[in-house]
Amino acid sequence: MLISYNWLRELTNTSLSPQKLRDRLTMVGLAIDAVEMHADDSVLDVEVPSNRPDCLSHVGIAREVTVIERKELVLPEPRSVKMAGRSADLTSVEIKDPDLCPRYAARLVRGVKIGPSPDWLVKRLEAIGQRPINNVADITNYVLHEVGQPLHAFDFHRLSGRRIVVRRAAHGEKLRTLDGLDRELSEDMLVIADAEKAVALAGIMGGEDSEISDRTTDVLIESAYFDPNSVRRTARRLGMDTEASRRFERGADREHVLRAQARCVELICELAGGVATEDAIDVYPQPFVSRVVEFRPERVKGLTSLNVKTDEMVRILTGLGFKSDYFPLEKFTAEVPSWRIDVDQEEDLVEEIARHSGYDQIASELPPSNIPGEYQPTEMKQRSLRRALNACGYDEAITFSFITREEQFELIPALNAEAQTELKNPIIEGATWMRSSLLPGLLNSLRHNLNHGIRDVRLFEIGRVFGVSSDGELPEEPLALTMIATGAAVEENKAQADRELDFFDVKGALEAAVDWMNLSPLVFAGTTAKHLRAGQAAVIKRADGVAIGTLGRLAEAVASAYKFRQPVYVMELDLGSLLSGPERGIQYSPLPRYPSVMRDISLLLNRTVALDEILSAVRNQGVADCRNVMLVGTFAGANIPPDKRSVTLRLEYRSDERTLRDEEVEERHSQLTSSLLQTFGAEQR
């Protein structure tokens, strides 16, 4: 909203410079974005809060300035005009939808001479960015910017039947608006019509048909109050945003309708000649009822800590147009002026007093504290998780919660595989679905990186995924953790890596993260999943056996859909479930008193035998003094048949009672060996 400094000075006699005004208005809640020079004037660009339509005018801003400066508002003096005839004898006004139009006033000025506006008026309008058209149109625009009441002038003789009907548009009714566009209207739009047809879109824009032209002699001046929601709805629907609609949709001052119209008529008579009717036809089916707010001065201190004298409170409220019956009491009432649609309770009055006393006068102190601070219960674990994954080379990503539909991913067990939540009004083309997996977002990010020549990428994301609502319930929103890895096992500050990443890099990073979170180690088992390559897919289970996600190499079909030409490893799990799983208990065990003896064993067995099976077979043997078994390594290829592999294990033998003798160890180890060979049909190498 542009405000002319010169115009403002006429209304306030302000002694503040434009720059000073900028600061002072900003500090009462009317932020000034910029002050710019325009000829001999300064123009202030005021950011008016959406609940203060009364400030969308020079008088509105002036009222704030007078309270700031303890001055009086200087409103333009009424001027005498030539009057003849009564409006009701010349025209009529009928409101068919009083809900949408609580007030409509029409008044005529006959015998005007349309022409250009005088210089002073042109200058005023140009200063605030308005384009001069002709004297009558300019005057309606001038009064709008002066007092905030939108007005419209019709060429009276273009109105069929010489009358005004305020009604809803007929279905499909057409109107060419002043901007030259043909509008097709619907039944929920309010129009101003004459005896036959719509001549204006109520509160938004006039029609071209009844526009003021050089040949116009008699004008009908409309001053009305339209329902804010109706104006907003219609303007949105038609994609229109005008000076008038902006004010009506936020709320105009229905008590000011006649005064604004009188001011407009006076200026027309003065600048365009003509004779005004003696009165207006004022149809006011829903008169304004003023609000009265009870106010306890102590609440100002209670809510803001400001010490303001009651006299000062009354000065501020009165200056802003509130009427109060103040006596030195603990409680008084304030009648809210008709233009202040934003005030209806005590706290609103507290704000009026606080902002004019100055927020900078409010002390700054911490509240006394009697509650301890606390993080979310899993926050520290999540921090460990992030840091562990960082340490393993994974960058944290954040992707949009809405994605294009993806059906090729197996979801975490908490979500129903078919159902997904759809958006009614997406903004990014195709991104219509609330993600049920973080994988599509991360794989898109991976594609972005590959397209930019970055081929070694490790990413993870922590975020909510979405199920679907059923029976009107909100969809579930479990927290997921997803990792992707591709390319080489890069080292810091080195251009080339020794090897490519694989399944076990992702698995290792996840296991490290689980350790960092002090949770019980996860269990992995071979599985199939539709987005994972067969034979390189694992189901992830918590220590207590609950399945929480999958890990593996991205299936060829999915990878090629993303145009990946290198292996990609992906992991997704239900983080909420992981975090609520068993913790790793810590209990001290005494250090060994006697030495251990290590024995290695190499078994040649079928590739299908999983390491986990072998390890548990060792543990289940219950061989005396066998304390530990660890993998040394596996070997395949060379002279080993393709369906076999060699697995080397290291076994630790130790007693708590004494040092074991070689023969004892030998005896135990050969017992274990022969049992393993038998169990797995293996050969010893």
Partner 1 sequence: MTENQPALTPERQVEAARKAFDEDIERFVRFCDPAQLAQADLETAVAEERAFAEVRARHLGKKSELAAAKKSIGRVAADMRPAFGQLVRSHEEAMVQQVELIEASLKEHIEAQRTARESIDVTMPGRRPRSGHRHPITLLRERIEDIFVALGYAIEDDREIETDFYNFDALNIPDHHPARASQDTFYTTEGFALRTQTSTVQIHAMQRRGVPVRMIAPGRVFRRDTPDPTHNPMFFQVEGLCVDRGITMAHLKGTVAEFLRRMFGPDTVTRFRPSYFPFTEPSAEFDFSCFKCKGSGCRICKNSGWIELGGSGMVHPNVLRAVGVDPQVYSGFAFGLGIDRMCALMYELDDIRLLFENDVRFLEQFE
Burial class for 162, CB neighbours closer than 10 Å (0-12, 13-18, 19+): middle
Q: Any residues with CB less than 8 A from the CB of 86 and at least 6 apart, and which?
A: 277, 278, 279
Strand 163-168 relative to strand 92-95, pairing: parallel
Tell which one of 475, 520, 546, 599 touches partner 1 (CB under 8 A).
475
Site string for partner 1, 233-272 (x = CB under 8 A): ---x------------------------------------
Whichever of 251 and 552 has its CB closer to partner 1, that residue is 251
Whichever of 168 and 246 has its CB closer to partner 1, that residue is 246
Residue keyed to tokens 């797995």: 680
Query: Could you say which residues in the range 378-417 bind partner 1, by CB under 8 A?
Result: 379, 383, 386-387, 389-402
Whichever of 220 and 442 has its CB closer to partner 1, that residue is 442
Tell which one of 73, 490, 546, 547 touches partner 1 (CB under 8 A).
490
Structure token digits, residue 400: 């949009």
Whichever of 30 and 219 has its CB closer to partner 1, that residue is 30
Least distance (Å) from partner 1 to the CB of residue 411? 17
The answer to whether 496 contacts partner 1 (rule: CB under 8 A) is: no
Phi, psi of 594, rounded to the nearest 5 degrees: -120, 155
Q: Is the CB of residue 115 less than 8 Å from the CB of residue 126? A: no
Whichever of 10 and 476 has its CB closer to partner 1, that residue is 476
At 5, the amino acid letter reads: Y
The answer to whether 678 contacts partner 1 (rule: CB under 8 A) is: no
Q: Any residues with CB less than 8 A from the CB of 503 and at least 6 apart, and which?
A: 536, 538, 551, 552, 553, 569
Q: Is the CB of residue 219 less than 8 Å from the CB of residue 120? A: no
Least distance (Å) from partner 1 to the CB of residue 34? 10
Give the 3-state DSSP-derived string for 120-166, with helices as H, strands as E and coil as C.
HHHHHHHHCCCCCCCHHHHHHHHHHHHHCCCEEEEEHHHCHHHEEEE
Least distance (Å) from partner 1 to the CB of residue 535? 27
Tell which one of 29, 102, 567, 576 touches partner 1 (CB under 8 A).
29
Whichever of 58 and 458 has its CB closer to partner 1, that residue is 458
3-class SS at 659?
coil
Q: Is the CB of residue 64 less than 8 Å from the CB of residue 25? A: yes
Q: Is the CB of residue 582 less than 8 Å from the CB of residue 543? A: yes
Least distance (Å) from partner 1 to the CB of residue 242? 16
Site string for partner 1, 626-665 (x = CB under 8 A): ----------------------------------------
Least distance (Å) from partner 1 to the CB of residue 388? 10
The answer to whether 1 contacts partner 1 (rule: CB under 8 A) is: no
The answer to whether 435 contacts partner 1 (rule: CB under 8 A) is: no
Query: Could you say which residues in the range 317-346 bind partner 1, by CB under 8 A?
Result: 342, 345
Alpha helices in 243-364 (DSSP H): 243-250, 257-272, 298-304, 310-319, 346-357
Strand 2-4 relative to strand 41-47, pairing: antiparallel
Put the strands of the sheet holding 31-38 in their side by side order: 2-4, 41-47, 31-38
Tell which one of 350, 480, 676, 682 touches partner 1 (CB under 8 A).
350
Residues in contact with partner 1, total (CB under 8 A)? 95
Whichever of 365 and 663 has its CB closer to partner 1, that residue is 365
The answer to whether 422 contacts partner 1 (rule: CB under 8 A) is: yes
Taking the C-alpha atoms of residue 433 and residue 176, their distance in angstroms, rounded to an integer, is 40
Taking the C-alpha atoms of residue 8 and residue 28, their distance in angstroms, rounded to an integer, is 17
The answer to whether 80 contacts partner 1 (rule: CB under 8 A) is: no
Which listed range, 487-495, 591-599, 652-660, 666-674, lies at the site for partner 1 (CB under 8 A)?
487-495
Whichever of 456 and 666 has its CB closer to partner 1, that residue is 456
Least distance (Å) from partner 1 to the CB of residue 373? 4
Tell which one of 371, 586, 591, 638 touches partner 1 (CB under 8 A).
371
Closest CA to 478 of 431, 559, 548, 386: 548
The answer to whether 499 contacts partner 1 (rule: CB under 8 A) is: no
Phi, psi of 310, rounded to the nearest 5 degrees: -60, -35
Query: Could you say which residues in the range 109-148 bind partner 1, by CB under 8 A?
Result: none
Least distance (Å) from partner 1 to the CB of residue 422? 5
At 500, the amino acid letter reads: E
Query: Could you say which residues in the range 294-313 bind partner 1, by CB under 8 A?
Result: 301-306
Tell which one of 354, 403, 548, 570 touches partner 1 (CB under 8 A).
354
Q: Is the CB of residue 356 less than 8 Å from the CB of residue 350? A: no
Residue keyed to tokens 């530990």: 628
Taking the C-alpha atoms of residue 490 and residue 454, their distance in angstroms, rounded to an integer, is 12
Q: Is the CB of residue 524 less than 8 Å from the CB of residue 547? A: no
Burial class for 419, CB neighbours closer than 10 Å (0-12, 13-18, 19+): middle
Query: Could you say which residues in the range 37-76 bind partner 1, by CB under 8 A?
Result: 49-52
Query: Could you say which residues in the range 437-456 bind partner 1, by CB under 8 A?
Result: 442, 445, 448-449, 452, 454, 456
Whichever of 451 and 678 has its CB closer to partner 1, that residue is 451
Phi, psi of 675, rounded to the nearest 5 degrees: -65, -40
Which listed range, 74-82, 105-113, 353-361, 672-680, lies at the site for partner 1 (CB under 8 A)?
353-361
Least distance (Å) from partner 1 to the CB of residue 245? 13
Which listed range, 307-315, 350-358, 515-523, 606-614, lies at the site for partner 1 (CB under 8 A)?
350-358
Which listed range, 271-279, 314-322, 426-434, 664-672, lies at the site for partner 1 (CB under 8 A)?
426-434
At 235, the amino acid letter reads: A
Is the CA virtual torsion 626, 631, 635, 636 positive or negative?
Answer: positive
